[in-house]
């Protein structure tokens, strides 16, 4: 199919999808499905009319007015996806720095652990009359909360930096940055694990065993980050292409 025809089909699809209140992942699926539907119509009309431009106009007529389809498309969005969209707007607000997103999610994770300790752990220990264990249990939960929050912050920030470097892969500077980010992520898991076990004051044999496992995972961690960053970079590239379309008539 001619690139110009495909571009016009994408504009028709984007007019129906962009105003819809749905998560970015949901919109990607909508775009793929609607574009595949339109391409199938065009191919069918080309076989009947023998002219791509005439087939394009016929496909637009069969597809309908994109503005009228917005409401129908919105109705296909499940209620839980609308809730996800509401919460997605907060961290993914345009222009919001990645470190703030990582910080806020890390704090949210930390707050979740504190809530569990306050609402469930402490009352259970009180009910069982094990007040003497409250301090130790709360301290352990606190250390685990700090570990998880720092790990979450590091993962999200690393993913953003790596995916951005992959997104701008044609730049030589971005390639070097990707290498540096990958190398910098290697000691993250062992370091945080050491901090956690050191804070728990476990015996040296348990700490040594945990560190050996953490060091083995140290090289798996950046590989997982690279795999996820590649997917994020592809999604960024795809979203950028769609959002750059001029949909105003």
* pLDDT given for residue 153 in this prediction: 93
User: Looking at residue 67, what is its pLDDT?
Assistant: 78
CB 43 within 8 A of CB 60: no
* pLDDT (0 to 100) of residue 234: 86
Cα torsion angle, 125, 127, 132, 135, sign:
positive
Question: Tokens 């945080």 label which residue?
Answer: 192
CB under 8 Å to 67, separation ≥6 — which residues? 15
Q: What is the predicted pLDDT for the residue at 1?
A: 64
Q: For position 36, what pLDDT does the model report? A: 92
What pLDDT score was predicted for residue 77? Answer: 80
Can you tell me the distance from the alpha carbon of 176 to that of 157, in angstroms, rounded to the nearest whole number?
A: 17
pLDDT score for 149: 92
pLDDT of residue 72: 81
Q: Using the structure block, give the residue that is written with the tokens 């016929």.
A: 58
Instruction: Answer positive or negative: Cα dihedral of 149, 163, 27, 32.
Output: negative
pLDDT at 88: 66
Q: In a structure prediction context, what are the per-residue pLDDT tens digits for the chain, which is 249 residues long?
A: 677 888 889 998 998 888 888 888 888 998 999 999 999 998 888 888 888 888 888 888 888 887 778 888 888 787 777 677 666 666 555 556 778 888 888 999 999 988 888 888 888 888 887 878 788 888 888 888 888 899 899 988 988 888 888 877 665 567 788 888 888 888 888 888 777 777 676 666 666 777 777 787 788 888 889 999 888 888 888 888 888 888 776
Q: Which residues of 100-124 are buried (b: 16+ CB within 10 A; e: fewer)?
A: ebbbebbeebbeebeeebeeebbee
A 10 A CB-CB count for 200 gives 16
Backbone angles phi, psi at 3, to 5 degrees: -60, -35
Alpha helices in the chain (DSSP H): 3-17, 24-49, 52-63, 66-75, 79-89, 98-116, 122-127, 134-167, 172-185, 188-200, 204-218, 220-243
Global pTM value: 0.68
The Cα 196–Cα 148 span in angstroms is 10
**CA–CA separation, 183 and 181 (whole Å):** 6
Task: Provide the token pair at 178.
Answer: 């990707």
**pLDDT given for residue 172 in this prediction:** 59
């Amino acid at each position: 199919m001619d690139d110009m025809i495909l571009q016009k089909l994408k504009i028709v699809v984007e007019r129906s999808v962009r105003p819809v209140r749905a998560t970015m992942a949901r919109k990607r699926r909508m775009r793929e499905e609607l574009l595949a539907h339109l391409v199938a119509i065009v191919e069918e009309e080309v076989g009947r009319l023998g002219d791509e431009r005439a087939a394009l106009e016929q496909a637009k007529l069969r597809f309908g007015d994109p503005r009228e389809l917005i409401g129908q498309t919105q109705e296909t969005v499940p209620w839980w996806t609308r809730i996800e969209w509401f919460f997605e707007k907060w961290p993914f607000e345009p222009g919001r720095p990645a470190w703030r997103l990582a910080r806020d999610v890390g704090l949210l994770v930390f707050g979740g652990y504190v809530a569990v300790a306050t609402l469930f752990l402490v009352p259970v220990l009180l009910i069982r009359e094990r007040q003497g264990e409250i301090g130790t249990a709360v301290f352990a939960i606190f250390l685990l909360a700090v570990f998880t929050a720092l790990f979450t912050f590091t993962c999200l920030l690393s993913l953003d930096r790596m995916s951005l470097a992959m997104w701008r892969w044609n730049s030589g500077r971005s390639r070097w940055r990707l290498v540096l980010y990958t190398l910098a992520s290697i000691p993250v898991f062992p370091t945080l694990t050491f901090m956690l076990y050191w804070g728990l004051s476990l015996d040296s044999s348990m700490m040594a065993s945990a560190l050996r496992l953490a060091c083995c995972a140290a090289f798996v961690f950046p590989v997982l980050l690279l795999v996820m960053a590649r997917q994020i970079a592809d999604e960024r590239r795809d979203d950028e292409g769609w959002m750059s379309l001029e949909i105003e008539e």
